[in-house]
Structure 1
Amino acid sequence: MSQPASDALPALPLTPRLAQRLAWIAPGWAPRDLPPAQRRQAEFQAGRQLAAQLLAALDAPVTQVGVAADRSPVWPEGFVGSISHSRRLVAVAVARRRDVRAVGIDIEAIAEDHAVEAIESVCMRPEERGVDTGGLTRAEFATLLFSAKEAFYKCMQPLTRIAFDFPDVSITRIDPARQCLELRLLRAATAEFGPGHRFQCGYRRAQGHVYTALEIGH
């Protein structure tokens, strides 16, 4: 059973150096019908299964993705990747380490109105309130803000071993035509990535979700 055509999903904003896939967790998936623990396990398994498929497509000798103490993925030797899921969708991006140094992806259901203020209080810096959002609603911008910083963390933490927090990076510009935003690092991380370093993060909106992706090349 496949999803209807109206449920078509966008490609993640990544270069062809990466293998990627964005999919519904399962046809007819109804997460509200499951206990939280069982739902989280189903989401986790969907991500690992999709990652194994992409690793196999890249001829990886090992397709199993391990789990670190913080439950982040541990990729097979020679590969980098990122996994994200909402309650309905799962996304994976994988690349050979010789092609891509690091990648971070994130998918988020657009926040409901009652949750927007809480998101802003956690992850929005004062200067980000003045960013031209290019027509995004307040809920869409709050979701994009959260998602982009999550993608940044997933990309940069394995590369730098720094535990970044939401205030450590700021959105400085959004380009709706290119579906890209600029992130500026505000803290010292490594000799390569210090205060003022700028990153480009792609984004998409579809099916009530925001999708963000950040990759670091050689």
Structure 2
Amino acid sequence: MGVQTGPFRGVVPEMSLGTAPVPPPHGPDEQFTAGRRAAAEALAAAGSAERTVPRAPDGRPLFPRGFPGSISHTGRLAVAAVVPGAAAVGVDIEPAVIPPRVAAFILREAERRRLLVPAGPYTARDLFAAKEAAFKAMNSLRTLGEFLFWQITLGQSGGALTASYRGESVPVWVRPEADLSFAVAIRL
């Protein structure tokens, strides 16, 4: 059983999180290493004896069988989420403010009208992170074919955020912070 830790404690079932700072000079190698440290921490919290997460030929992290997970990083922070028993997990952290022009491209008109502040509870950065996390969870099994994260549709029902693409959907949890948005999607 996973241990609920971090900002989603009590919200996302059986999720374990790991975090690691990205050391200077904050480049790709340091981000990769920090991501693997965060993954090892999340795997340990979830009860996995295996703590190594190699890279697939296409660059995706290969979590141990029975411990699906995901890694995301910025130039300063890496985070990993593991959800034992899930089919797939997606996590994303976004530190950048999303300009209106980018938001208009990645978010459909209905998403902007219903989900963005002031009508909805989310910023463009929150929804960008939600789509990225959902893409990782939905695309990790490679059953939906090739698609881009912005093609996912976000909707909200009863306060829950859901990401959909080609008849498949996953719940997404978003936690905004002052300097970043953090999202997790779980495919059961």
TM-aligned CA deviation for residue 136 of structure 1: 8.1
Retained in 2: the 8 A contact 1:66–1:75? yes
Q: Which runs of 5+ in 2 are unaligned?
A: 1-5
Deviations 1:114-150 (A, max 9, x none): x51342254122332322424489xx62212211111
The one-letter amino acid of 2:48's match is A
Q: Which residue of 1 aligns with 2:156?
A: 173
- Quote how far apart the aligned CAs of 1:73 are: 0.3
Corresponding position: 1:164 with 2:147: yes
Deviation at 1:211, TM superposition (A): 0.8
> Which of 70, 79, 82 is matched with 2:67 structurally?
79
Aligned to 2:164: 184
User: What corresponds to 1:4 in structure 2?
Assistant: none
1:48 aligns with 2:58: no
What aligned pairs does 1:131-146 form with structure 2 within 5 A after superposition? 131-135=114-118, 141-146=123-128
Relative to structure 1, the CA distance from residue 164 to residue 56 in structure 2 (aligned partners, 3 Å threshold; closer, same or farther) is: same
Q: What is the aligned counterpart of 1:155 among 114, 132, 137?
A: 137
1:88-127 equivalences in 2 (<5 Å) = 88-96=76-84, 99-111=85-97, 116-127=99-110
Following the alignment from structure 1 to structure 2, what is the Cα–Cα distance between the partners of residues 90 and 60? 20
Rg larger for: 1
Partner residue in 2 for 1:199: 170
| Whole-angstrom distance in 1 between the partners of 2:162 and 2:45 | 32
Q: Quick one: distance in 1 between partners of 2:171 and 2:138? A: 13
CA contact (8 A) 1:67 1:73 kept: yes
Code of the aligned partner of 2:154:
I
* Matching residue's letter, 1:50: A
- Pairing 1:6-25 to 2, within 5 Å after superposition: 11-12=7-8, 15-23=12-20, 25=21
In structure 2, give the amino acid aligned to 1:145.
L
Alpha-carbon distance in 2 for matches of 1:144, 1:128:
12
Gap regions ≥5 residues in structure 1: 1-9, 188-193
Q: Which runs of 4+ in 1 moved over 6 A?
A: none
Matches of 1:124 and 1:134 in 2, distance apart? 13
Change in 2 beyond 3 A, CA 1:126/1:79: same
- Root-mean-square deviation (CA, aligned residues, Å) is 3.0
User: Higher RCO, 1 or 2 (CA under 8 Å, sep at least 6)?
Assistant: 1
Describe the SS at the equivalent of 1:74.
coil
Task: Please give the TM-score of this superposition, normalised by the length of structure 1.
Answer: 0.70
